[in-house]
């Protein structure tokens, strides 16, 4: 079974600064998908960014980018120009590509609470 580890329970950053959230995962598969989700206090999970393991290029979405290191099984999220609205829980998630029978549920880490200091 796959596992996802987020070693930073909480991170704090000044507004407009850059912050990096860490995620490592364990899998024996060679093809899979990785995601970062944001969960504000309203509890609604929002997809921030995704990465396909077969792609060498790191994904970017505006101020959000990832550093995907497949050999190291590392998938960190970098948030540039942090804004107050970025404050939330951030979850790293894994999805297998080898879904038997169509099973494609996500495996989540425990999350990192991101605090933005004004």
Partner 1 sequence: EAGVAQSPRYKIIEKRQSVAFWCNPISGHATLYWYQQILGQGPKLLIQFQNNGVVDDSQLPKDRFSAERLKGVDSTLKIQPAKLEDSAVYLCASSSLFSGGPYEQYFGPGTRLTVT
Question: Using the rule CB under 8 A, is 64 a contact of partner 1?
Answer: no
Instruction: Return the number of the residue (14 or 39) whose C-beta is nearest partner 1.
Output: 39
- When binding is defined by CB under 8 A, the residue of 21, 34, 93, 114 that contacts partner 1 is 93
Q: How many residues bind partner 1 (CB under 8 A)?
A: 25
**63 Cβ contact partners less than 8 Å away, ≥ 6 residues apart:** 79, 80, 81, 83
Site for partner 1 in 7-46 (CB under 8 A): 33, 37, 42-46
How remote is the C-alpha of 68 from its chain's centroid?
Answer: 10
Sign of the C-alpha dihedral computed for residues 15, 18, 49 and 42 taken in this order: negative
Question: Using the rule CB under 8 A, is 101 a contact of partner 1?
Answer: yes
């Amino acid at each position: 079974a796959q596992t996802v580890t987020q070693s930073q329970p909480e991170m704090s950053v000044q507004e407009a600064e850059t912050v990096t959230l860490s995620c490592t995962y364990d899998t024996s598969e060679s093809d899979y998908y990785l995601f970062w989700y944001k969960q504000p206090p309203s509890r609604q999970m929002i997809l921030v960014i995704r990465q396909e393991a077969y792609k060498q290029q790191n994904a970017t979405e505006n101020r959000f980018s990832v550093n995907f290191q497949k050999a190291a099984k590392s998938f960190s999220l970098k948030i540039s120009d942090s804004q107050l609205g970025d404050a939330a829980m951030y979850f790293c998630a894994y999805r297998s590509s080898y879904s038997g029978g169509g099973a494609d549920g996500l495996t989540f880490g425990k999350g990192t609470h991101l605090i933005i200091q004004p």
